[in-house]
């Protein structure tokens, strides 16, 4: 099969060309040996050289818009706003318009003093895929949209490589939001208190969207969303679960695009994560 030139440019943008050969080789080896991968291991499937399943990308599979009916792991903490936390309780009841106004006027942490504007989120409010990043950078702070700088361009290419986009309102359209809605000065990591103050907003966005899958970009966002201090290495390649409004939503973790711009070799691992996310999503579609 010949390589679609548009898709080829995307592979190039992600430095993924050579990896594909390697992945096919692994798939062939799996088939030849009949050895099943370890449970939970990240593995490739038999995608063709365009990176699509024989029956086309999972993102385009017809499936009802709902989350995986997965069993909650024992001991999973269901985070609900404490009854005494009036602000979080109020946010948990907001509609999109109220939420957007509340974020724009937020003074819950000191970042309100240094921001140019809040960065709410972008994309399809009925999205089946949700992407969660860390915090706005300088360009996002200036433009009011997440992931519009260099890292954002890489993110768009990563999404396109698995048939997704921040544009439109189809099953392939994602919603993108950050853990923090305001830029930390100098692009420093979010302080735990800042993430805690912003958490009700992200939770409400997730509750309103009810995505079938969340892909978290980077250690800081993953640790914050999953309430863990585990390393990104240990978080990758597994399906995590968060519970929002009694909905168990699968979460897959990968590297942050800004990290990938500095560590080109890890783009290969991130591609593995995206394929894994697509598998998890496809399982959700089948279960639906």
Rank residues 51 and 149 by Cβ distance to ligand URA and give the closer one: 149
DSSP labels, 164-182: -BSSSSSTTBEEEEES-SS
| Residue 176 φ then ψ, to 5° | -120, 130
Q: Per-residue x/- marks for ligand URA, 144-163, CB under 6 A? A: --xx---xx-----------
Q: Could you tell me the two tokens for 251?
A: 């979460």
CB of 248 to ligand URA, least distance (A): 25
Q: Does 135 sit near ligand URA (CB under 6 A)? A: yes
Q: Which residue is nearest to ligand URA (CB)?
A: 133
Q: Does 121 sit near ligand URA (CB under 6 A)? A: no
Helix axes 192-209, 96-104, angle to 10 degrees: 160
Q: Could you tell me the two tokens for 203?
A: 């939770």
Q: Could you tell me the two tokens for 113?
A: 């003093």
Q: Note whether 104 and 157 are within 8 A (CB).
A: no
Q: Per-residue x/- marks for ligand URA, 246-275, CB under 6 A? A: ------------x-----------------
Using CB under 6 A, which of the segments 22-30, 77-85, 120-128, 132-140 binds ligand URA?
Answer: 132-140
Residue count (the chain) = 288
Question: d(Cα 71, Cα 221) in Å, to the nearest integer?
Answer: 24
Using CB under 6 A, which of the segments 108-116, 129-137, 190-198, 229-237 binds ligand URA?
Answer: 129-137
Question: d(Cα 231, Cα 167) in Å, to the nearest integer?
Answer: 32
Residues 160 to 199 in contact with ligand URA, rule: CB under 6 A: 178
Question: d(Cα 222, Cα 144) in Å, to the nearest integer?
Answer: 22
Q: Does 140 sit near ligand URA (CB under 6 A)? A: yes
Q: Note whether 194 and 220 are within 8 A (CB).
A: no
Rank residues 120 and 281 by Cβ distance to ligand URA and give the closer one: 120
CB of 118 to ligand URA, least distance (A): 12
Rank residues 58 and 222 by Cβ distance to ligand URA and give the closer one: 222
User: Which residues are CB-neighbours of 52 under 8 A, at least 6 positions away?
Assistant: 163
Rank residues 99 and 258 by Cβ distance to ligand URA and give the closer one: 258
> How many residues sit close enough to ligand URA to count as binding (CB under 6 A)?
12
Residues that bind ligand URA (CB under 6 A): 133-137, 140, 146-147, 151-152, 178, 258
């Amino acid at each position: 099969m010949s390589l679609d030139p548009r898709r080829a440019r995307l592979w190039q943008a992600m430095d993924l060309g050579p990896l594909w050969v390697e992945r096919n080789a692994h798939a062939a080896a799996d088939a030849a040996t009949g050895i099943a991968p370890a449970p939970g291991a990240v593995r490739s499937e038999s995608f063709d050289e365009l990176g699509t399943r024989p029956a086309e990308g999972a993102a385009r599979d017809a499936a009802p818009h709902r989350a995986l009916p997965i069993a909650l792991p024992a001991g999973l903490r269901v985070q609900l706003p404490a009854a005494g936390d009036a602000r979080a309780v109020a946010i948990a009841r907001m509609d999109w318009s109220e939420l957007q106004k509340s974020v724009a006027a937020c003074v819950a942490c000191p970042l309100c003093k240094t921001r140019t504007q809040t960065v709410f989120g972008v994309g399809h409010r009925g999205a089946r895929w949700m992407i969660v990043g860390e915090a706005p950078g300088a360009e996002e702070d200036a433009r009011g949209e997440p992931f519009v700088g260099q890292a954002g361009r890489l993110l768009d290419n990563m999404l396109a490589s698995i048939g997704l986009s921040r544009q439109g309102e189809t099953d392939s359209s994602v919603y993108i939001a950050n853990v923090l809605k305001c830029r930390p000065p100098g692009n420093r990591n979010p302080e735990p208190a800042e993430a805690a103050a912003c958490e009700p907003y992200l939770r409400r966005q997730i509750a309103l969207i009810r995505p079938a899958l969340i892909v978290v970009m980077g250690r800081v966002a993953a640790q914050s969303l999953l309430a863990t201090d585990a390393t990104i290495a240990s978080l990758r390649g597994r399906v995590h679960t968060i519970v929002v409004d009694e909905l168990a939503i699968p979460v897959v973790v990968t590297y942050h695009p800004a990290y990938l711009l500095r560590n080109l070799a890890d783009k290969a691992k991130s591609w593995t994560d995206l394929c894994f996310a697509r598998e998890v999503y496809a399982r959700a579609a089948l279960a639906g």
